[in-house]
A and B are shown apart, each in its own frame.
Chain A
Amino acid sequence: MDSKQINETIAMIREENLDIRTITMGISLLDCVRGDVAATADAVYAKITAKARQLVPVAEQIETEFGLPIVNKRVAVTPVALLAGGAPDFDFVQIAQAMDRAAKDCNIDLIGGYTALVQNGMTAADEALMRSMPAAFAATERVCGSVNIGSTKSGMNMDAVKLMGEIVKQVADPTPQNAMKLVVFCNAVEDNPFMAGAFWGVSEGDCAISTGVSGPGVVQRALAAIPDAPFEQVCETIKKTAFKVSRMGQLVGKIAAERLGVPFNIVDLSLAPTPAVGDSVAQILETMGLSHVGTYGTTAALALLNDAVKKGGIMAAERVGGLSGAFIPVSEDANMIEAVAAGHIGLEKLEAMTAVCSVGLDMVAIPGKTPATTISGMIADEAALGMINNKTTAVRVIPVPGKDVGEFVEFGGLFGRAPIMKVNDGDASQFIARGGRIPAPIHSFKN
């Protein structure tokens, strides 16, 4: 027994907000396709509840035995656009309602997978699902969805980009909080356990458990202890901390999978902030020596953080996946909110940061009057960063009806509050109206 090590672990949990951010069960719904919407909805409800009934009790048992908080218990399902079968007028909203009912009955926080993968083109079912999103998110509480509009291998589906600009606006009106449930991806991954973008890819098995670990506070405290150390030591410190944090994810995921009688899939080693003081990714960057997040040096700091987290975590877990790295959601990070409110960081710098973070423009509130074509332009720019750089990027922007720059929107709980950010007031409408496809990029001659 090494009391110093025990003390260190206990301090990480008690004082530095170390937690298992999510334990997510992936469930394939491909065997629920019936060709009739009511029968499919019944099968969806039955399968989710059969598989996930014990998820929350098992997670709570583990929390008790290890004294380690498991913040969210979630389910990710097969992209729902694939469930239409041969039905010509498939009402996807009924599937969303069945998912929502199943989530409530199993006491699950959120259920993801109201999703279409359209990087190569849209089927009638894909388009119907995308167009049903405003109604589906308004009619449900816990359902999350995503649309993958591009990939490095396929290029970008600009018809889908155009449509999603409009859908994001519709989803947010009149309830902007509904837009938190929708992510537009480029290079979406099939095993991501984090919401709102989690879905269970068609190449995955029938059912498995994944975990997402977090702990920005732990990394920040470790770096605060070495204020003048050179970067090699900074990276080593992050790697060691990420290793320890990821081992928790491996341990908890493995035990949960055993008790639930399903395989263990992956650990997602992501530093995901919450609005709580001391649980901020932006604060880690500031602790590296930046007066505030957004100043010059921020992108470099984030790049080294993202890379070191992966290097440390990868050795700690049997299989790593998901979106591993550092998230930079604006409204969920106290220091990020402060920097935006003080005018230290704008959308342009955030966009640059998304080229080196684990995902993209996340939880960004923008004026309600922002045109749909401008949102499509944001989606296109983020997707281009992902497509060219062979990484996942995403857009989760929240146009807030009736509000403008300088005002705040409240989301509550873990989702925090967001200052409305200034959007470039140029016009992308002619560019977006072209439609069609941007072809896949060349993988050589990288300059």
Chain B
Amino acid sequence: MQVIVSVFGEDRVGIVAAIATALAKEQVNILEITQSIFKGNFTMMISAKLPENADFRQTRDNLQAVAKQLGMTVQMQRQELFDAMHKL
């Protein structure tokens, strides 16, 4: 299952490392990353692939726990949502 992980919050050291590590622990394969900082606000989008047997809720909750420690907001949503809205 392909997902989009989006991370928002105030910029600080170690965000990419922490999120990437959390994903690796869950065997989530990162396909693409884009990141930007605007007026100190950090935004990162990760396109990734969950393993076949992944527990979606568990993976998301673990990710949110890591983000919370960093003071960030994270969301993980299935890719189809964005495709449905923006692709004909």
Contacts and interface: CB of A to CB of B under 8 A. Distances in A.
Contacts of B34: 1, 3
A1 B86 contact: no
A175 B81 CA distance: 42
A2 B6 CA distance: 12
Interface string B32-47: 1010100000010101
B60 interface: yes
Contact of A244 (B32, B56, B77, B86): B86
Interface in A62-76: 64-68
A7 interface: yes
Contacts of A251: 80-81, 84
A247 B45 CA distance: 22
Contacts of A66: 77-78, 80-81
A5 B81 contact: no
17 contacts: A1-B4, A1-B32, A1-B45, A2-B86, A3-B34, A5-B82, A5-B86, A6-B6, A7-B45, A64-B56, A64-B57, A64-B60, A65-B77, A66-B80, A67-B77, A68-B77, A251-B80
A221 to B, nearest CB: 15
Contacts of B84: 247-248, 250-251
B85 interface: yes
Nearest to B79: A1
A389 B37 CA distance: 54
Interface string A283-305: 00000000000000000000000
A198 B16 CA distance: 48
Contacts of A10: 6, 75
B75 A67 contact: yes
Contacts of B60: 64
B76 interface: yes
Q: Which 4 A-B residue pairs are closest in the complex by CB-CB distance?
A: A67-B77, A251-B84, A5-B86, A247-B84
A6 B82 contact: yes
Interface in B17-62: 32, 34, 36, 43, 45, 47, 56-57, 60
A66 B47 CA distance: 14
A9 interface: yes
Interface residues of A, number: 19
Contacts of A1: 4, 32, 34, 45, 47
Contacts of A8: 86
B43 A7 contact: yes
Choose among A1, A2, A5, A64 the residue with the greatest number of B CB atoms under 10 Å from its CB: A1
A64 B63 CA distance: 14
Choose among A1, A6, A65 the residue with the greatest number of B CB atoms under 10 Å from its CB: A6
B47 A9 contact: no
Given A1-B47, A3-B34, A251-B81, 20 more contacts: A1-B45, A2-B86, A5-B86, A6-B6, A6-B45, A7-B6, A7-B43, A8-B86, A9-B81, A9-B82, A9-B85, A64-B57, A65-B77, A67-B76, A67-B81, A244-B85, A247-B85, A248-B81, A248-B85, A250-B84
A16 B4 CA distance: 20
A61 to B, nearest CB: 8
Nearest to B86: A5
A132 B21 CA distance: 63
Interface string A8-44: 1110000000000000000000000000000000000
A65 B56 contact: yes
A65 B78 contact: yes
B49 to A, nearest CB: 13
B19 to A, nearest CB: 15
